Amino acid sequence: MYSRVLSASVFGINAFPVDIETHLEAGIPGFQIVGLPDSSVRESRERVIAAMKNSGFGFPPRKITINLAPADIRKEGSGFDLPIAIGILLARGDLEAIGAETTVLLGELALDGTLRPVHGALNIALSLHARGVQRIVLPFANADEAALVEGLGVYPVTSLQETVDFLAGRTMVTARSIDANERFRATVDHYAVDMRDVKGQQGVKRAMEVAAAGGHNILMIGPPGSGKTMIAKRLATILPPMTLAEALETTKIHSVAGLLPPGQAIVATRPFRAPHHTISDAALVGGGVGVVRAGEISLSHHGVLFLDELPEFARNVLEVLRQPLEDKRIRISRTKMTVDYPANFMLVCSMNPCPCGHYGDPFHECQCQPIAVQRYLSKVSGPLMDRIDIHIDVPAVRVQELSVGQVGESSREVRTRVMRARDVQIERFAAHPAIFKNADMSTKDIAMFCQCSEEASEILRTAMSRLALSARAYDRILKVSRTIADLDGSTGIESRHVSEAVHYRSLDRQQ
């Protein structure tokens, strides 16, 4: 007795179809799963047996072999429980054919036969619909997520019994339908914080606006309590709202990681990730033992990755950021697999100027020895600092600025200027599909789009000589200058634009 049921597994952020083949024969009762299952798939045997018995179907006293094809790719996750149970019922003759070629089954079974949600439902729905799948049967909690895929019949069920009744035609299940654009518009641009909450720090706010307008990485250096973390948390609120395509790609990553909140079908606001400084390199860039999980840099895709107290991170953890910052992707290679994850994020870092935090603070005396200050700053390598476009000093906020009742600009007002500058960039790079903002420009693109006036070029040459900056810093100063010119509404890069951009690198030599 044989049956075949279609399911799917996630690999990276994409999914591939998995044929659940079931073979029943007489002999010593047994239940074996083959096809490179991981431990969570192998454990489905106990869940399936208990769920079938508690749902009133019983379990056949046969020798049962389940094959997960293709057999040369590792399968993981608990989503195979439901298709395995249905495959056994089909092989036993309790169900008729269910259209295995065009119907995907997905779901984790509780011991009482009810269904629990699984990870990666959106990824599976998108990938398999493109391969000709017409309908997907999955847990009710995953329905909204999968229903974002237009043209796919999404049928939410709550238990094994309901699934069997639906497939047998004894029960009607209403297909779930969602307007992805409407759901996206209803939740986009909803933030709990606002830039107007920040008192004073006009220079830092300006630097943040420049960073947001061009997608530049930024480092804030200042004493404790100066507002570095507070400002960083509000950077996402002045970035342009995500497009639907960006939201779907971000949602795919969060869905696979199991980070979608209950009832939320789509990530419509730009992610803000702030890992603790004890994080490992694998947790930051992705990886793991036996499986390859998305790291913090991928979870912050199309958003902000904030590293607070930068020198406290392990040196090897920070160094793995260098390649993703350049390529906007991360390739994780293991013995039996290689997975690509997107990692197009804005890096925002903060640090104190010394171990006690008061070096250069006019209001507090620094207690650190010069060698301690130098050792502290050297924890962050030069190559990584070189990849951060903007370095800004964050001074302590004066009491007068804290007590004044004046309210600063809102995030919406700043975002309006940022979006105007981004519109200029979109028009500029219309013929270059790989470039979306100034920070994405290569050296060749910089030569084409960052033409300076003679006075501006002279200022840049002088700065390079006096500050002993690298060639990479030269390119990044030009990128930032181009962004400042875009915010200024200028078609060319003038001396004032280069002067401001150089100021954002001068902290390199002050340390």
Answer whether the bond into residue 139 is a cis peptide, omega within 30°: no
The whole-number average pLDDT for the span 237-254 is 92
Q: What is the pTM of this model?
A: 0.88
Helix orientation angle between 471-488 and 454-467, rounded to the nearest 10 degrees = 140
Q: What is the pLDDT of residue 33?
A: 95
User: Could you tell me the pLDDT band of residue 364, with boundaries at 50, 70 and 90?
Assistant: confident
Tokens describing residue 306: 């904030």
Q: What is the pLDDT of residue 121?
A: 94
Assess whether pLDDT exceeds 70 at residue 315: yes
In angstroms, what CA-CA distances link 499 with 70, 201, 395, 456, 484?
59, 20, 21, 8, 10
Specify whether the backbone of 391 is left (phi greater than 0), alpha (psi in -120 to 50) or beta. beta
Cβ neighbourhood burial of 411 (10 Å; 0-12, 13-18, 19+): buried
Cβ neighbourhood burial of 195 (10 Å; 0-12, 13-18, 19+): buried
For residue 219, give the amino acid letter.
L
Helix orientation angle between 202-214 and 471-488, rounded to the nearest 10 degrees = 100
% of the chain with per-residue pLDDT over 90:
62
The whole-number average pLDDT for the span 476-484 is 95
φ/ψ of residue 114, rounded to 5: -80, 165
Please tell us whether the domain made up of 2-178 is placed in CATH 3.30.230.10: yes
Tokens describing residue 200: 């004073």
Find the helix or strand (DSSP H, E) in which 23 lies.
strand 14-25
Assess whether pLDDT exceeds 80 at residue 188: no
What lies within 8 Å, CB to CB, of 253 at 6+ separation is: 13, 294, 298, 299, 301, 341, 342
Tell me if 450 sits within 8 A of 479, measured CB to CB: yes
Please tell us whether the domain made up of 187-425 is placed in CATH 2.130.10.10: no
Torsional sign, CA 448, 449, 450, 453: positive
User: Could you tell me the pLDDT band of residue 312, with boundaries at 50, 70 and 90?
Assistant: very high
Q: What is the pLDDT of residue 402?
A: 65
Q: What is the pLDDT of residue 1?
A: 85
For 34-49, write each residue's pLDDT tens digit. 998 988 899 999 999 9
CA atoms within 13 A on the CB side of 508: 27
Question: Which has more pLDDT, 370 or 187?
Answer: 370
For 328-360, write each residue's pLDDT tens digit. 999 888 767 788 899 999 999 999 999 998 887
CA atoms within 13 A on the CB side of 97: 4
Find the helix or strand (DSSP H, E) in which 205 lies.
helix 202-214
What's the mean per-residue pLDDT of the chain?
90
176-182 CB contacts, 8 Å cutoff, 24+ apart: 176/143, 176/144, 176/146, 176/147, 177/147, 178/144, 178/147, 178/148, 178/265, 180/148, 180/150, 180/244, 180/248, 180/266, 181/244
User: Could you tell me the pLDDT band of residue 510, with boundaries at 50, 70 and 90?
Assistant: very low
Q: What is the pLDDT of residue 179?
A: 84
28: DSSP letter:
S
Q: What is the pLDDT of residue 400?
A: 64
User: Could you tell me the pLDDT band of residue 12, with boundaries at 50, 70 and 90?
Assistant: confident
The whole-number average pLDDT for the span 172-200 is 84
For strands 218-221 and 153-157, give the pairing.
Answer: unpaired
The whole-number average pLDDT for the span 199-213 is 92
Q: Which residue spans of the chain are classified as CATH 1.10.8? A: 441-511
Tell me which residue has tokens 């290689």: 338
Q: Which CATH architecture has domain 441-511?
A: Orthogonal Bundle (1.10)
In angstroms, what CA-CA distances link 310 with 232, 298, 304, 360, 381?
13, 19, 15, 18, 11
Q: What is the pLDDT of residue 403?
A: 63
Assess whether pLDDT exceeds 70 at residue 22: yes
For 444-474, write each residue's pLDDT tens digit. 999 999 989 999 999 999 988 888 888 888 9
Give 74's strand partners.
none
Torsional sign, CA 68, 69, 71, 73: negative
User: Could you tell me the pLDDT band of residue 311, with boundaries at 50, 70 and 90?
Assistant: very high
For 120-149, write each residue's pLDDT tens digit. 999 999 999 988 899 999 999 999 999 999
User: Could you tell me the pLDDT band of residue 94, with boundaries at 50, 70 and 90?
Assistant: confident
Question: Which has more pLDDT, 17 or 98?
Answer: 17
The whole-number average pLDDT for the span 180-190 is 78
Which of 182-186, 269-273, 338-342 is predicted with the least confidence, judged by mean pLDDT?
182-186
User: Could you tell me the pLDDT band of residue 100, with boundaries at 50, 70 and 90?
Assistant: low
Q: What is the pLDDT of residue 511?
A: 44
Residues in the chain: 511
The whole-number average pLDDT for the span 412-433 is 93
Assess whether pLDDT exceeds 70 at residue 507: no
Question: Which has more pLDDT, 188 or 166?
Answer: 166
Q: Which residue spans of the chain are classified as CATH 3.40.50.300? A: 187-425
For 366-402, write each residue's pLDDT tens digit. 889 989 988 898 889 888 988 899 999 998 887 666 6
Q: Which residue spans of the chain are classified as CATH 3.30.230.10? A: 2-178
φ/ψ of residue 79, rounded to 5: -75, -5
Tell me if 14 sits within 8 A of 127, measured CB to CB: yes
Question: Which has more pLDDT, 184 or 504?
Answer: 504
Assess whether pLDDT exceeds 70 at residue 477: yes
User: Could you tell me the pLDDT band of residue 509, with boundaries at 50, 70 and 90?
Assistant: very low
Q: How many CB atoms lie within 10 A of CB 158?
A: 15
The whole-number average pLDDT for the span 206-235 is 94
What lies within 8 Å, CB to CB, of 361 at 6+ separation is: 223, 353, 395, 396
